Amino acid sequence: MNHPPEIVIAGGGIAGLTLALALHDAGITARVYESTTTLGELGVGINVLPHAAREFARLGVLDRLVASGVELERYMWFNRFGQEILAEPRGRRAGYAWPQVSIHRGALHRILAEAVRERLGHGAIVLGHHLQDFAQDDARVQARFVDKASGARRAAVECDLLVAADGIHSAARRTFYPDEGPPRWAGNMMWRMTVELARPVLGGATMFSAGTGDIKVVGYEISAAHKAAGGSLFNWIAEVKVGEPETTPPEREDWNRVATVDEFLPHFADWTFDWLDVPALARASRQAFAFPMVDRDPLPRWTHGRVTLLGDAAHPMWPIGSNGASQAVLDCRALVDALVADAAGDLEAALAAYEGERRPATAAVVEANRSRAHDSMLDLVAARAPAGFERIEDVVSRAELEALSASYKQTARFAREQL
């Protein structure tokens, strides 16, 4: 192959759109084929960690993300009584060269889609194309699409490389691993929601986790506009263990399943702290998106010939530690660098380099999230002081807490010294 590879990306989520931008930036053209027929602003809050912010800066979209979302300055952990365990600086406040940005997923998605269309042309995102399967030989791969609603076959698309960025229910992954079955459930349900508040929570630039691994509230601000007006668009997640790990979740993972807050409110009836009234927050939120906390086992291989996996298709992970989108962004950088570095045009070697770098790295994050590493101090403190504490220093030293937090950052590769 002595021409730049023709690349088809299946899936126009955060990963697929970022990959299109990064390829374009490197002089490689790609087209994104997305299953849905419109690009709606879906989801609620999402986080961009500093290592992913660095990539977005390089792609020239970080300013737009910061203008829409909120630059995080602090992370705080609390027990289930709202008592402070640890507060640590984040993003630029912690000395990073890049911020940590909390943003509405819909806004992040829209900003990326706009940038793709501005730079690659409107036709670079092809809607209504659901990857069904593919055929390949030594020279080319043929991606086959259907209209998801009607099942009608679309024209097949030929390319040199098919990148499947088609999310947790990836069709390509299923083709490679037909016996894998449904995602693994942690036993926890998550209810995600946003609510407009008169005043920001914890000063407006703080993300927090409060509770334990079995029952927890996580929250952060996501709107620069609300913040500038002195108010708040607050994103929060109520998480409750409702079943046993490794059993079948009560429902299929659907990011858009709307639930009432009554589904989880009784679990938090007495969660009234001096800095947050959880029942009042739930009632003000009115509705939520319910999602079982699932992931999949790390795979032995992502690349099969001219087809490879990227983002959630490759490594769906429990959303503990805000790494889902960020790790997908790092995949994009690694794949593009590998393609560019391989001047001889040896696709096989480039894909091996991409996978060699990213598969072990993301497997480590999947495992760390399974051990709840980012929030492990919550369970540690709950075990040592189940009824709460007078002084956190009597329960655990600050050095121990900081070591726990630092260890997760190292695994997910966003410790300051790693950037």
Ligand X SMILES: Cc1cc2nc3c(=O)[nH]c(=O)nc-3n(C[C@H](O)[C@H](O)[C@H](O)COP(=O)(O)OP(=O)(O)OC[C@H]3O[C@@H](n4cnc5c(N)ncnc54)[C@H](O)[C@@H]3O)c2cc1C
79 vs 102, beta carbon nearer ligand X: 102
Phi-psi region of 406 (alpha: psi -120 to 50; beta: other; left: phi over 0): alpha
How far is the C-alpha of 176 from the C-alpha of 151, rounded, in Å? 22
Does residue 321 belong to the site contacting ligand X (CB under 6 A)?
A: no
E-state strands within 117-180: 125-126, 130-136, 141-146, 157-159, 161-164
Verify binding: residue 165, ligand X, rule CB under 6 A: yes
Which of 248, 256, 287, 371 touches ligand X by CB under 6 A? 256
- For residues 44 and 289, the answer to whether their CB atoms sit within 8 Å is yes
- The residue range among 13-21, 77-85, 193-201, 352-360 that interacts with ligand X, by the rule CB under 6 A, is 13-21
Instruction: Give me the least distance between CB of 182 and ligand X, in Å please.
Output: 15
* Binding residue (CB under 6 A) for ligand X from 324, 339, 347, 362: 324
167 binds ligand X (CB under 6 A): yes
16 is a site residue for ligand X (CB under 6 A): yes
Q: Identify the burial level of 319 via C-beta atoms within 10 angstroms of its C-beta, where 0-12 means exposed, 13-18 middle and 19 or more buried.
A: buried
DSSP character string of 188-239: EEEEEEEEEESS-GGGGSEEEEEE-SSEEEEEEE--HHHHHTT-EEEEEEEE
Angle 70-76-79 from CA coordinates, rounded to 5°? 140
Measured distance CA(18)–CA(331) in Å, rounded: 10
Among 7, 8, 10, 368, binds ligand X (CB under 6 A): 10
Handedness of CA 108, 110, 115, 116 (dihedral sign): positive
Q: Pick from 105, 184, 227, 372 the residue near ligand X by CB under 6 A.
A: 105
- Which range touches ligand X (CB under 6 A), out of 10-18, 113-121, 204-212, 373-381? 10-18
Q: Which of 76, 201, 281, 328 binds ligand X (CB under 6 A)?
A: 328
**Closest approach of Cβ 152 to ligand X, in Å?**
14
3-state secondary structure of 181: coil
Please state, in angstroms and as integers, the Cα–Cα distance from residue 236 to each residue in 145, 160, 191, 210, following that order: 36, 42, 8, 11
Q: Which of 7, 46, 238, 373 binds ligand X (CB under 6 A)?
A: 46
141-146 and 258-260 as β-strands: parallel, antiparallel, unpaired?
unpaired
Where does this chain touch ligand X (CB under 6 A) — which range of 8-16, 176-184, 348-356, 411-419? 8-16
Helix axes 105-120, 14-25, angle to 10 degrees: 30
By beta-carbon proximity to ligand X, the closer residue of 76 and 290 is: 290
Task: Fill in the per-residue mask, 211 to 250: x = in contact with ligand X (CB under 6 A), - = not in contact.
Answer: ----------------------------------------
- Both tokens of 307, joined, read 């087809």
82 lies in the binding site for ligand X (CB under 6 A): no
- Residues 124-163 as x/- pattern, contact with ligand X by CB under 6 A: ------xx--------------------------------
Is 5 near ligand X (CB under 6 A)? no
Tokens representing residue 267 in the block: 């679990």
Is 292 a residue that touches ligand X (CB under 6 A)?
no
**d(Cα 190, Cα 108) in Å, to the nearest integer?**
21
11 in Cβ contact with 32 (< 8 Å): yes
34 or 355: CB nearest ligand X = 34
Judged by CB under 6 A, the residue of 192, 226, 358, 359 near ligand X is: 192
CB of 85 to ligand X, least distance (A): 23
Among 222, 311, 334, 392, binds ligand X (CB under 6 A): 311
Instruction: Give the residue, chosen from 8, 21, 24, 43, that forms a contact with ligand X under the rule CB under 6 A.
Output: 43
Residue 40 in contact with residue 194, Cβ under 8 Å?
A: no
Q: Which residue's CB is nearer to ligand X, number 124 or number 171?
A: 171
Residues that bind ligand X (CB under 6 A): 10-16, 33-36, 42-44, 46, 105, 130-131, 165-167, 169, 171, 192, 255-256, 311-312, 319, 324-325, 328
